[in-house]
């Protein structure tokens, strides 16, 4: 049995909701992915047409079955239909209870806090429902909007990884961010016990 089961009801935070993808998202996906900023900072291909959108949806559906992704469409909470963006938990290392989050917003959906709320929602889902204990987020050093999303969602900036990956424009340096499960982020009880033993 797969350990990834997407919730039946959307995940909601204020005006932002996450729901499973639907075949009917193809036209909105094609429209959003015409924005060169999306292919610049993500693995979304360019040019992007309906065959790319259908392939994207197939990989989303498959990733749930193969436990390689927990993919959501970002939509407005009030109607749950209009596509605002995409967000996925992926690259799981189950033995280490670790995953990575990746996202984009359609250009017209930016500047309203949807990305930050979507990251918080999917991380809550990852910690509570998937049992993750750490989530990674990588944002290019030249992508300040995404770094701000990471920081506003509570991630800690941990390192700069030089020439980390291939992208449309070369090999960008990436800021590595990490978020620990709330239960793991508290000061370790073992460490505190050890400190008090040393003091006594
Ligand atoms: C990253 C992304 C999801 C952020 O969405 P968003 O938070 O709605 O985006 P915004 O445009 O509101 O930018 C967020 C913040 O960064 C700031 N920002 C944007 N571009 C900036 C720049 N070039 N320099 C400095 N700050 C910048 C904005 O002013 C905003 O801060 P504010 O709310 O204090 O004004 C969106 O820009 C996007 O989809 N980009 C393309 C794909 C992408 O980069 N995905 C992430 C890959 S790691």
Domains of the chain, by residue range, sit at 11-199
Architecture of domain 11-199: 3-Layer(aba) Sandwich (3.40)
84 ligand 1 Cβ < 6 A: no
Q: Which helix (H) or strand (E) covers residue 27, if one does?
A: helix 26-32
Look at residue 196 and tell me whether its pLDDT is greater than 50: no
Ligand 1 center from residue 67 Cα (angstroms): 30
The per-residue pLDDT for range 135-184, each reduced to its tens digit, is 999 999 999 999 999 999 999 999 999 999 988 889 999 999 999 999 87
* pLDDT score at 199: 41
User: What count of other Cβ atoms lies within 10 Å of the Cβ of residue 60?
Assistant: 19
Tokens of 32: 């959003």
Ligand 1: residue whose CA is nearest its atom 47: 41
Ligand 1: residue whose CA is nearest its atom 19: 145
- How far, CA to CA in Å, does 85 sit from each of 28, 71, 108, 196? 9, 11, 10, 48
Region 108-130 average pLDDT: 98
Q: What are phi and psi of 129, to 5 degrees?
A: -100, -30
Residue 32 in contact with residue 85, Cβ under 8 Å?
yes
pTM, two decimals, is 0.91
* pLDDT score at 47: 97
**Atom number of ligand 1 nearest to Cα 143:** 44
The per-residue pLDDT for range 47-97, each reduced to its tens digit, is 999 999 999 999 999 999 999 999 999 999 999 999 999 999 999 999 999
Look at residue 194 and tell me whether its pLDDT is greater than 70: no
Ligand 1 center from residue 26 Cα (angstroms): 24
* pLDDT score at 186: 59
Angle between helices 114-128 and 144-152 (to 10 degrees): 50
Do the bridges between strand 98-105 and strand 134-140 make them parallel or antiparallel, or are there none, so unpaired?
Answer: parallel
């Amino acid at each position: 049995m797969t350990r990834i089961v997407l919730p039946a009801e959307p995940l909601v935070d204020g005006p932002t909701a996450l729901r499973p993808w639907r075949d009917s998202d193809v036209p909105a996906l094609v429209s959003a992915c015409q924005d060169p900023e999306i292919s610049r900072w993500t693995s979304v291909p360019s040019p992007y047409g309906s065959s790319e959108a259908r392939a994207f949806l197939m990989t989303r559906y498959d990733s749930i079955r193969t436990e390689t992704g927990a993919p959501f469409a970002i939509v407005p909470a009030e109607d749950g239909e209009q596509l605002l963006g995409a967000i996925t938990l992926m690259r799981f290392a189950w033995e280490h209870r670790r995953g990575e989050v990746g996202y984009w917003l359609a250009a017209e959906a930016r500047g309203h806090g949807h990305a930050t709320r979507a990251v918080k929602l999917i991380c809550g889902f990852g910690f509570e429902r998937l049992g993750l204990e750490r989530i990674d987020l990588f944002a290019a050093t030249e992508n300040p909007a995404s770094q701000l999303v990471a920081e506003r969602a509570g991630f800690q900036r941990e390192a700069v990884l030089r020439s980390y990956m291939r992208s449309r424009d070369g090999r960008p340096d990436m800021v590595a961010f990490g978020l620990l499960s709330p239960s793991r982020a508290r000061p370790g009880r073992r460490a505190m016990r050890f400190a008090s033993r040393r003091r006594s």
